[in-house]
């Protein structure tokens, strides 16, 4: 039995998210269906993490076990011929029998795109968070450094999430600009539910002057979701890379 690792890109717009649920189309289910079509097997596809409806992936990772004789590197082509156009397998390879996409992940990188322009851009509407009031890039840039390090991120987690341990380590957190796009990149050992979207919502509050960069340490220490900014919308978020 072979353990196949897939690297996956998708546009999350038309899905309820990565994870299969009783109702609605999920990316996980679409790929499991495609695997069934080419191998006849009902597999459990294990993703590195969930992504919400509207969230995109450039480098999601998942694995499954199969008795199929399809060469590991050919799964990519076979699956892409069955998958809808908004999901694409960009790599398939055989990995160690005990490799587990979720448990073995040691880090993840995400990016979040903010389109900062007074007028909406129809070409971007599924791919960015449109903020029409002016944002102070330099103030936002001062704010993000405070996230780096190991912190209890309870303030940056959806209020009703259940986690045993809200402590995460952030290794990188930086901003860049391309024209009217502000790009936030963040890398760490893991992220709580909605954590990046709440961080972005907080950065936007800093960018419009409602919060100050030096408020961040206090918000972190408070362990109080209400002190952080609102949850930014999903369509600006991209899972870029999973580290093993």
Residues marked active site are found at 52
The single residue among 3, 4, 6, 10 that binds a second copy, judged by CB under 8 A, is 10
The single residue among 19, 53, 88, 185 that binds a second copy, judged by CB under 8 A, is 88
Strands 129-131 and 107-116, bridge-based pairing? parallel
* Residue 49 vs 87, nearer CB to a second copy: 87
d(CA 129, CA 229): 15
What track of x and - describes contact with a second copy for positions 108 through 147 (by CB under 8 A)? Answer: -----------xxxxx-x-x--------------------
* Residue 167 vs 183, nearer CB to a second copy: 183
* Residue 129 vs 153, nearer CB to a second copy: 129
Q: Is 225 in the site for a second copy (CB under 8 A)?
A: no
Q: Is 89 in the site for a second copy (CB under 8 A)?
A: yes
| Residues at the contact surface with a second copy, assessed by CB under 8 A | 9-11, 56, 58, 76, 80, 85-90, 119-123, 125, 127
């Amino acid at each position: 039995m072979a353990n196949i690792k897939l690297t996956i890109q998708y546009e999350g717009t038309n899905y309820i998210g990565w994870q299969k649920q009783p109702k609605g189309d999920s990316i996980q289910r679409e790929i499991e269906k495609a695997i069934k079509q080419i191998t006849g097997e009902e597999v459990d596809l294990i993703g590195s993490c969930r992504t919400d409806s509207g969230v995109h992936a450039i480098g999601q990772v998942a694995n499954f076990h199969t008795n199929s004789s399809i060469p590991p590197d050919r799964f990519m082509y076979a699956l892409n011929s069955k998958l809808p156009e908004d999901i694409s397998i960009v790599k398939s390879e055989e990995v160690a029998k005990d490799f587990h996409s979720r448990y073995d992940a040691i880090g993840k990188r995400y990016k979040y795109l903010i389109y900062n322009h007074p007028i909406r851009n129809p070409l971007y509407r599924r791919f960015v968070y449109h903020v029409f009031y002016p944002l102070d890039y330099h103030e936002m840039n001062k704010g993000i450094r405070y996230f780096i390090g190991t912190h209890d991120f309870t303030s940056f987690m959806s209020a009703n999430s259940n986690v045993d341990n809200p402590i995460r380590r952030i290794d990188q957190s930086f901003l860049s600009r391309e024209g009217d796009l502000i790009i936030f990149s963040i890398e760490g050992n893991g992220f709580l539910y909605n954590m990046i979207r709440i961080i972005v919502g907080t950065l936007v509050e800093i960018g419009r002057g409602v919060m100050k960069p030096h408020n961040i340490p206090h918000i972190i220490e408070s362990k109080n979701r209400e002190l952080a900014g609102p949850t930014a919308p999903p369509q600006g978020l991209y899972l870029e890379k999973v580290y093993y």
